[in-house]
Every structure is written in structure tokens, then in C-alpha cells.
Homo-oligomer: A and B are copies of this chain.
Amino acid sequence: MARRRQAVTIKHVAADAGVSLQTVSRVINKEPNVRPSMQEKVQASIDRLGYIPSIAAQRMSGSRSYLILALNDRERTIADWRARQGSDWIDQMLLGGMLKCAELGYRMIFELVDTHNDHVERELGAAIAALQPDGVILTPPHSDNPLITNLLTAHKIPFAQIGSEGQGGGIPLIMGDQDAARKATEHLLGLGHTNIGFIAGPSDYLLSGWRLAGWKGAMESAGCATSGKSQEGDFSFASGAAAAKILLCQSDRPTAILASNDHMAVATMEVASELGLSVPTDLSVISFDNTPMAIFARPSLTAVDQPIADTTARAIELLISAKNGDTPVLGPTIIPADLVLRDSTGPAPL
């Protein structure tokens, strides 16, 4: 295969504009100290020749690769893809991240890593060596993995930690779980519910705690009891069903349940149906995440949306700012989550 050469290089532009390579480089990188007339002349040549810099060459000589690496857990991601159940986490990251990258002249590359073992360091190290990304986006459950955060810190590569409060020294972003849980609970309170159950996520996810706190806070502010009204699941359908069964078989049965993800909410509706309860007449249900499952459930689920796209987009912006040496934002960036109203919620039964 023939040696491949760039069609139009910086040399062509320089020759065309009658200036040095360096001046063209300055124009490309929007550096100061270029006379406007020069800048215009060079830009005209660039446009005329349709010149686009090679990112490989930029990376070779300069300090940037114009590449952002997004890391996801290998096992979970592949399992979701194979299940074809419409878990759209990756799509939403792509939606927010790719478009924002494109806007800023960057590209996003996905990489899967094994969180469970020590391969992480080798795998991530290889990706860093091969690509030299300008920034890395970490996602749960490894946003706070010290093996990863230490490695990135050592390499001086800025990184965003989605769903983390930023212990690792990166840029933390969280999705307003606590506020959203409060909002969802308040919505139910507004519908007249006072006995509202909660199905929590596993405690090793930080967001499980945030969601729980939001529900608890809203309940307590309204003077409603929370004791004995919450059960922990592990995000799976089975665990949701088990939790729902416990809550719904109590003598003082809740008239509404807030479940920490869509799977557990669907399970709750199924259990309700088995018990002869209809949703939303006898029981209102609200879920978290708003994956496609929430739309397709019958009745469709009122859900707290997870603003993955917005969060990823913001992560990209902050990463590039950090790379540019801008002063970092203090504290975690919170992306607010909306409540999407559908058919699984209604007024409390009399």
C-alpha cells in the first residue's frame, strides 16, 4: 500500500499565502500577535485550498491530540448491548459528547475497561500511550476508581468524574439525583399521597444514597413517615420485585412508590398487578433513569430523567477548559434532572 500523504498541508497554505509555516500555524491556532491583514490573507488561502490540519501531526509536535477518551465498564456495557433492551447510556453519551466535541474541534473515542481487576492500569495505560487523549471521561462504577484516577493524575491528563463528588482529583459532575428525588416525591405529595415507599439502589453506588436522601428529605419536610418505608434493591428486576412485595404486603401499604431505576419500577408494577392493585388508581409509581423501558412500560412510567447527554457535553467543555489551563470550577457541577410525567402516577386513592 502506497505511502499516504496529506492532500493539502500547511506548506501548501504557506506557499499559497506567501508566508512562513509558522504564521499559518499561528492562524490555525488563533494565536495572538498576528496582524489582522496577515490573518485574513492566510485564512483566505486555507479556505481556498480547503486545508484541514492533520491531528496526528498536531499531536506529534504539539501538546494536544484533539481526542477525548470516554471510559465505560466493559462487562456491563457489553451485557447491555447484547440484551438489546434499549439501555441507552452510551447513546446519550454519544449524543451529548460527540456533538460537543465536534463543535469544539475534538473527537470522542470510546474505550471499555475491566473495572474488576488490575488489568485497568494496563488497559488504560495502553490507551493513553496509543492515543494521548487531551482528556478522559470516567463513568460509574469506576468514576472514583483510585487505580484509574491515580494513573491519570500521574500522566497529567485532565479527567471528568461523572456521578462522583470528586475525591479522585478530577472534575466531578453529578446529575442532581437528590433534587430530582425530592421533586419526584413532592410531586406525589402534591397528588395527595402521604404514604410513599422507596426502593433504593445498591449502597455501593453513590447515587443510591443521593436518591434516598432526596426522598427522605421531602417526606420529612412534609411530616410524613419514612421509617420502614424503604427497601434496598440492586437495580435488577428481581430485586425490585422482592422489595415491592415487602412494601405492598405491609398492613399500612403505600399508595405510591419511588423506585431507584426503571427495571425496579416495572417490577413494582408487575407485583402490584399480581396483588390486584391497578396503576395508577391504587398505586402510583415513579422511576429513575427514564430509559426507553419507561416509555414502553404499560402504563408508561412517570420518570426522573437522567441527563446523560447534557452531563457529557458539560464534561467535555470542562475538560477542554482544564486543558487550556482555565481555572477550574469549584465543587461538583450539578446537571439538573427533570421529572417526565406519564401514566403511572395519579391522585392518591381516597
A82 lies within 8 A of chain B by Cβ: yes
Question: Looking at the complex, which of A33-41, A89-97, A239-247, A252-260 is the stretch in contact with chain B?
Answer: A89-97
Specify which of B54, B91, B99, B109 is in contact with A90 (CB 8 Å cutoff): B91
Asked if A57 is at the interface (CB within 8 A of a chain B CB), the reply is yes
**Out of B2, B3, B84, B292, which one reaches A290, CB within 8 Å?**
B84
B295 A84 Cβ-Cβ under 8 A: yes
CB distance from A74 to the nearest CB of B (A): 9
Assess whether A205 is interfacial by the CB under 8 Å rule: no
For chain A, residues 93 to 135, give those with C-beta under 8 angstroms from any C-beta of chain B.
94-95, 98-99, 102, 107, 109-110, 112, 122, 125-126, 129-132
- 9-residue interface stretch from A4-12, A14-22, A177-185, A186-194: A4-12
A98 touches B126 (CB 8 A): no
Query: Which residue of chain B lies nearest to A98 when distances are taken between CB atoms in the complex?
Result: B110
Q: Are A63 and B132 in contact (CB under 8 A)?
A: no
A78 interfacial contact with B, CB 8 Å: yes
Is A342 in contact with chain B by the CB < 8 A criterion? no
- Distance between Cα atoms of A7 and B151 in the complex (Å): 13
How many copies make up the complex?
A: 2
CA distance A88 to B84 in the complex (A): 7
Q: How many residues of A contact B (CB 8 A)?
A: 62
**Seed contacts A53-B130, A296-B297; 6 additional CB < 8 Å A-B pairs:** A50-B125, A52-B125, A54-B129, A84-B88, A88-B91, A296-B296
Q: Are A55 and B130 in contact (CB under 8 A)?
A: yes
**Residues of B contacting A85 with CB < 8 Å?**
86, 292, 295
Chain B residue contacts of A86, Cβ below 8 A: 85-86, 88, 291-293, 295-296
A291: contacting residue among B50, B62, B84, B325, CB under 8 A: B84
The docked-state distance in angstroms from the alpha carbon of A59 to that of B324 is 25
Is there a chain B Cβ closer than 8 Å to A230's Cβ? no
| B84:A94 contact, CB within 8 angstroms | no
